[in-house]
């Protein structure tokens, strides 16, 4: 049996870490809440298809939709940060954005470029 490449093993570990992340748990909970609220689900679908503008006021009108949109943004932000970290180590270019402060504001991972 061939040895699994290190890159694949690290990808597997990253996938497991993402699967247990607070951001993904929050997103899945928000998706489950949306499934229980038919009116919110309709509004969310209309916003995603462009039938209803996805403006902040409309989203605030439905706490379920607001939570889902916020959870989606949080998970996308996590993925963007991870991609930035990977990109730095592949290219040597710092393109990592964490919040508004860039990589230097990160205290969570303990890594430095």
DSSP 8-state assignment for residue 3: P
The domain limits of the chain are 18-99
For the CA atoms of 6, 106, 112, 8, what is the dihedral angle to 10 degrees?
10
Contacts of residue 14, defined as CB under 8 A and 6 or more positions apart, other chains included, come to 82
Q: What is the pTM of this model?
A: 0.75
Q: In this model, does residue 14 exceed pLDDT 80?
A: yes
Contacts of residue 94, defined as CB under 8 A and 6 or more positions apart, other chains included, come to 88, 102, 103, 113
Tell which wins on pLDDT, 109 or 56. 56
pLDDT recorded at residue 99: 53
Tell which wins on pLDDT, 80 or 104. 80
CA 36 to chain centroid, in Å, comes to: 22
pLDDT recorded at residue 100: 47
Question: Which tens digits make up the pLDDT trace of 21-72?
Answer: 999 999 999 999 999 999 999 999 998 888 878 777 877 789 999 999 999 9
CB 27 within 8 A of CB 18: no
pLDDT recorded at residue 78: 97
């Amino acid at each position: 049996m061939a040895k699994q490449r290190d890159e694949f093993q690290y990808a597997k570990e990253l996938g497991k870490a993402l699967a247990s992340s607070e951001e993904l748990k929050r997103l899945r909970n928000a998706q489950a809440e949306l499934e229980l609220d038919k009116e919110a689900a309709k509004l969310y679908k209309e916003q995603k298809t462009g039938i209803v503008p996805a403006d902040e006021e409309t989203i605030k009108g439905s706490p379920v939709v607001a939570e889902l949109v916020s959870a989606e943004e949080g998970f996308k932000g996590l993925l963007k940060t991870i991609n930035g970290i990977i990109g730095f180590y592949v290219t040597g270019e710092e393109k990592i954005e964490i919040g508004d402060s860039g990589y230097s504001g990160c205290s969570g991972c303990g890594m430095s470029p």
